[in-house]
């Protein structure tokens, strides 16, 4: 079975991604990106060493600045979404003025309350993800047990599992938020190594 090259219409054998010419081109780009990665990684190691040489209070200042920026972004986007929704659904004789005013107002208020709004939204979002994970995990476990011991999961049982996963997930999300597990990292981050193209 044959395919076409991902960069042109040339026919290539099955299992390949590029024709010969474009594979050489992709490898050249990969080698260039890899060289850049090594340079960036050396720079990261230097910056990481400098960061580790800082006192705990100086490191915390970087973490707090990153946290404030992250919470501000979350709260600002939430305010923009709320104001935008009001703008979209409100119909008045004043045209777009109330919608614009509501959007600006909600963004400013949410940003001002970013330490509360941002953390609340982040905790709820983490809780939702944990709830989904709990539901899949609990339901999957019970499904396997039901297959082994040959009993059925009734409708009420499924509803109970679904509902119980919500408070469990939200509890974990809020617990992690208020114990600092979601706190932003303000130190230097390592660059991503490029992926070698396949033939």
How does residue 2 score in pLDDT terms, banded at 50, 70 and 90? low
Average pLDDT, the chain: 87
Spatial separation of the C-alpha atoms in residues 25 and 118, rounded to whole Å? 45
Q: Please tell me which residue, 169 or 161, carries the higher pLDDT value.
A: 169
The pLDDT value recorded for residue 152 is 63
What pTM did the predictor assign?
Answer: 0.71
* Proportion of the chain in helix, strand, coil states, percent, rounded to 5: 70, 5, 25
Residue whose C-alpha is closest to residue 126's, from 90, 91, 169, 157: 169
Residue 153's pLDDT is what? 61
What SS3 state is found at 2? Answer: strand
The whole-angstrom separation of Cα 40 and Cα 192 is 9
- At residue 128 the predicted structure's pLDDT band, cuts being 50, 70 and 90, is very high
**Over pLDDT 90: what percentage of the chain?**
53
Q: Which helix (H) or strand (E) holds 149?
A: helix 114-149
Q: What is the reported pLDDT for 162? A: 72
* Confidence at residue 164, expressed as pLDDT on a 0 to 100 scale: 84
Q: How far apart are CA 71 and CA 195, in angstroms?
A: 32
pLDDT computed for residue 117 by the predictor: 94
Give the domain ranges of the chain: 1-53, 56-112, 115-178
């Amino acid at each position: 079975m044959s395919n076409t090259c991902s960069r042109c219409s040339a026919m290539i054998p099955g299992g390949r991604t590029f024709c010969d010419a474009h594979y050489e081109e992709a490898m050249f780009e990969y080698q260039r990106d890899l060289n850049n990665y090594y340079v960036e990684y050396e720079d990261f190691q230097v910056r990481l060493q400098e960061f580790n040489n800082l006192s705990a209070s100086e490191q915390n200042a970087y973490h707090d600045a990153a946290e404030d920026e992250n919470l501000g972004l979350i709260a600002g986007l939430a305010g923009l979404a709320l104001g935008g929704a009001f703008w979209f659904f409100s119909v008045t004789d004043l045209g777009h003025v109330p919608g614009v005013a509501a959007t600006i107002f909600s963004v400013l208020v949410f940003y001002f309350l970013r330490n509360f709004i941002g953390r609340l939204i982040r905790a709820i979002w983490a809780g939702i993800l944990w709830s989904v994970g709990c539901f899949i995990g609990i339901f999957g476990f019970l499904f396997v047990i039901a297959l082994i011991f040959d009993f059925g999961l009734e409708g009420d049982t499924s509803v109970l599992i679904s509902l119980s996963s919500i408070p469990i997930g939200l509890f974990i999300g809020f617990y992690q938020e208020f114990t600092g597990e979601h706190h932003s990292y303000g130190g230097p981050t390592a660059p991503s190594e490029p992926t070698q193209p396949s033939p």
